[in-house]
Amino acid sequence: MDEARLRQQAIGVRLRQMFDEVVNEQVPDEFLEILRRADSRSSENG
Amino acid sequence: MADDGRQLKPAAAPRSAADDEAFKRELVQLIPHLRAFARTLCGDPAAADDLAQDAMMKAWDARASFQMGTNMKAWTFMILRNQFYSEKRRSWRQSQLDQEAAERTLVAVDDPEAPVALDELRQGLTMLPPEQREALILVGAGGFAYEEAAEICGCAVGTVKSRVSRARRALHAILDEGNYDRDGASAGDAMRSILADAERLSTVR
């Protein structure tokens, strides 16, 4: 059914928007901070 | 940890600082995607960020086992998902839904191309069984091929395909019932009673 397909497309578009909205948020500094700390730990040990 | 690795696997080429740097660069680029996937699993943004951070660190600690040049996005998503399920983290409150009944009540909408309201979509997603929700998110929003999603979820490709297609049908049914309600047009009684049941079940507990 064509109408169902169109509806699925509209839902799909919104689903991607919902996901991309978070993807496009600025990453909290905490993430990079944690990674930086782990990286410096491993280079000290290595 | 690096010392242990060398002792256990003397034949393996030692990891260079450049390897770590390349790995880290790629991992950093994936953080936004890990956050988005975690958000769909957890619902709650703060819990989702905790999960994404844990997954990021797990990936970093396991970097020696990652083959550079292969799909790091799928690899990190798999780590995040395993982390989520192994700890049985708090997920969205699962509403009860008779999915087969919902799919039977698929109704025609006035304008099939009309935009879908975001909050209704979020609500609709909470009504799906978790394995259908994650399959739909990975394929429909995360941009993964069915084969990749199957790898991430640890199931067969056919299983992913069927979960995605059931999730799509159910979501369609749930959302368009919502549209009818809002317009004041007559809503399918079956669906309304399902939603009422779901509401009752979730408040009783």
Interval A1-46: pLDDT, tens: 688 888 888 899 999 999 999 999 999 999 999 999 998 887 776 5
Instruction: Please give the mean pLDDT across all residues of chain B.
Output: 79
Domain ranges of chain B: 2-86, 99-204
pLDDT at position A40 = 87
Q: Note the pLDDT of residue B73.
A: 97
Cite the beta strand spans of chain B per DSSP E: none
Q: What is the ipTM of this complex?
A: 0.90
B99-204 placed in CATH 3.30.2130.30: no
Interval B144-156: pLDDT, tens: 999 999 999 999 9
Contact A34 B53 (CB under 8 A): yes
Put simply, whether A17 touches B (Cβ < 8 Å) is: yes
pLDDT single digits (tens) B16-37: 888 899 999 999 999 999 999 9
* Number of CB atoms found within 10 A of residue B24's CB: 17
Please give the CATH architecture assigned to the domain spanning B2-86. Answer: Orthogonal Bundle (1.10)
- The alpha carbon of residue A15 is apart from the nearest alpha carbon of chain B, in Å, by 6
Task: Name every chain A residue with its beta carbon within 8 A of the beta carbon of B35.
Answer: 22-23, 25, 27
Contact B34, B28 (CB under 8 A): no
